[in-house]
Each structure stands twice: as C-alpha cells, then as structure tokens.
Structure 1
Amino acid sequence: MSTIRVVWGAASGPTAMASYDAALAEAGVENYNLVSVSSVIPAGAAVEAVGTAPDLGPAGERLTVVEARATTAEPGRVSAALAWSQSPDGGPGLFYETAGEMDREDVERRVREGLAAGQELRDWSFAEPRVALESRQADSGRHTTAVVLAVYGESKPIL
C-alpha cells in the first residue's frame, strides 16, 4: 500500500488565488492538479507527517488529497488543521479537516472534536489521534492562505 503524506504551508499574496498557490508551494504540491476526496484512510496505508512533499511525479498530473484550507483578506489569524487516526491493527482510519479565521488553539480543538465525532460513527478501533496544523497572521491589504493536505501516494496522469 502507498504512503499518505501530510504536508502544510501558509503564504500571502495580492489575490486569494496567488496566496493559495504560494501556500501550496510551501507544501511542495503547487505543480499538481489536486483532486479532493472525503476523509477515509484505506486499510494498510501508512500516514507520515512530512511538512513538504517530495517529488511526486511530473508537473500537471493529478494528486488525490484531503485538504484543510482557509483564506482571508482581513487582518487577523488564518489557520488550517488536519487530524487523523488509524485502526491499530492496520485497518482503515479517518482524516478530519477544519480551517478558518481562528487561532491555533481553537482550530486544534475543533479538528479534534470533529475527528472524535467521525470516530463515533464507525465501528472501528482507533489509535491516538495526530494533528498537523498551519497558522499565519494575516496582514491588512493582502490575502493570506493556510493549508494542510493529506496527499495519497504519487501523482497520476490526468489525460
């Protein structure tokens, strides 16, 4: 089974899309077409928090991701978090994402609460949760984006 890498970044730019692209560059996934999926970790997958993605294949290919993303143009703090937990016996697991204009403590509390709620819906056993969090102070007059992504495996051709 492939590895799921958890990556993160935050950046500012003159537009919302420019700040998002720059945040993806910090995470190392700016050259891929991201395809979002819901939050189930397949049985047997290894999840590694790496910060910045290694080379995952040629530019323009498709990457499957679970993404937490927040963008603001207002002064304040923007945060994104991804929590996950897997079955200790190698079974499936779950990601939960949250993001917004909030401080680090609030986004971490919310992502942990969300993960716990998702775990209650499933008849699986879960190991201790892990959390990856990115937060950045937003300046007036610029857009700021924070992202945390779980990247499933390597890139695949889109055509």
Structure 2
Amino acid sequence: MSPIRVVWGSASAPTAMASYDAALARAGIENYNLVSVSSVIPADVDVEAVGTAPDLGPAGERLTVVESRATTAGPGRVSAALAWSQAADDGPGLFYEVAGETGREDVERRVREGLSAGQELRDWAFTDPHVAVESSQAESGSYTTALVAAVYGKSEPIL
C-alpha cells in the first residue's frame, strides 16, 4: 500500500489564490485536483513527513488529501499545523488540522489538543503524536498562505 506523505509550504503573491497556488507548489502538489477527506488514517499505512511531494502522477489527476491551510493579507503571521497518531500494531489513526492568522506555537498547541480529544473518542492504543507546522510572515501589500497536507498515495484519473 502506498504511504501517506505529509508535505508543507508557504508563499506570498499578489492575490489570495495565487499565494495558495504558490504554497501548493512549494509542497509539490500544485498540479493536482485536491479532494479533501476527513481525518482517518487507514490501518497498515505508513505516514512519512517528507516536506515536498515526489512525482505523484500526471497533472490534472485527483489527489486525496487532509489539508490545513490559512491565508492572510499582510502584514501579519499565518500558520498551519497537522498532527497525527496511529494505533499501535499497525492499526488505524487520526489526523487533526489547525490553521489561522496566528503564530507557530499557538497552532501547534491547538492541534495537539484537538488530536488528544479525537484520541479520547476512540478505543485505540495510540502511538506518540507527530506534528508538522508551517508558518510565515506576510508583508504589507501581499497575501501569504501557509499549508500542511497529508497526501494519500498517488494521483488517480479524475475522468
């Protein structure tokens, strides 16, 4: 089974959508149609924090993701965080995401709290959590997006 790769990026541009597209490019997933799913990790799947995605297939295909992202008009700080933990013995797991116009420490604290709350809802023995955070300062006159995404496997044809 293909791994789930955690990727991240941030970028500034003259419009909100352009900054989002540029942040996707920094993460290596700009050429796909992203389909968001909730936050359950299937059993027997490895999760790898890689930063930038490798080639995941032809441009224009569908890519399944759990995404944390925030965009702000400068000046200001924007941050995104994704936390995950899997059940012991290759069981299922959870992703939790938090993003906002705030600092790195705030989103990391909040995403850990969310993951802990999600773990309490399930009768699974979880491993230690992992967290990926992306944060960037937005300059006046531009938009800045920070994102962290968990990419499920490779792309698939959309048609």
Q: Normalising TM by the smaller chain, what interval?
A: over 0.9
Q: What amino acid is aligned across from residue 65 of structure 1 in structure 2?
A: V
Quote the Cα distance in structure 1 between the aligned partners of 2:125 and 2:38.
Answer: 19
C-alpha distance in 2 between matches for 1:94 and 1:2: 17
Output the CA distance in 1 between the equivalents of 2:38 and 2:74. Answer: 29
TM-score under structure 2 normalisation?
0.99
In the alignment, structure 2 segments of 5+ residues that lack a partner are none
Describe the SS at the equivalent of 1:66: strand
1:60 paired residue number? 60
Unaligned runs of 5+ in 1: none
Deviations 1:101-127 (A, max 9, x none): 111110100000000001011111100
What one-letter code is carried by the residue in structure 2 that aligns with 1:12?
S
Residue 33 of structure 1 aligns to which amino acid in structure 2?
N
DSSP-derived class of the 1:55 partner: coil
CA RMSD of aligned residues (A): 0.5
Give 2:99's aligned residue.
99
Percent identity of paired positions between Structure 1 and Structure 2: 81
TM-score (norm 1): 0.99
Aligned length: 159
- Taking the aligned partners of 1:133 and 1:113, their CA distance within structure 2 comes to 14
Residues 77-101 of structure 1 deviation map (CA, whole Å, 9 limit, x = unaligned): 1000000000121000000000001
Q: How far did residue 74 of structure 1 move?
A: 3.3
Q: Distance in 2 between matches of 1:88 and 1:47?
A: 13
2:7 corresponds to 1:7: yes
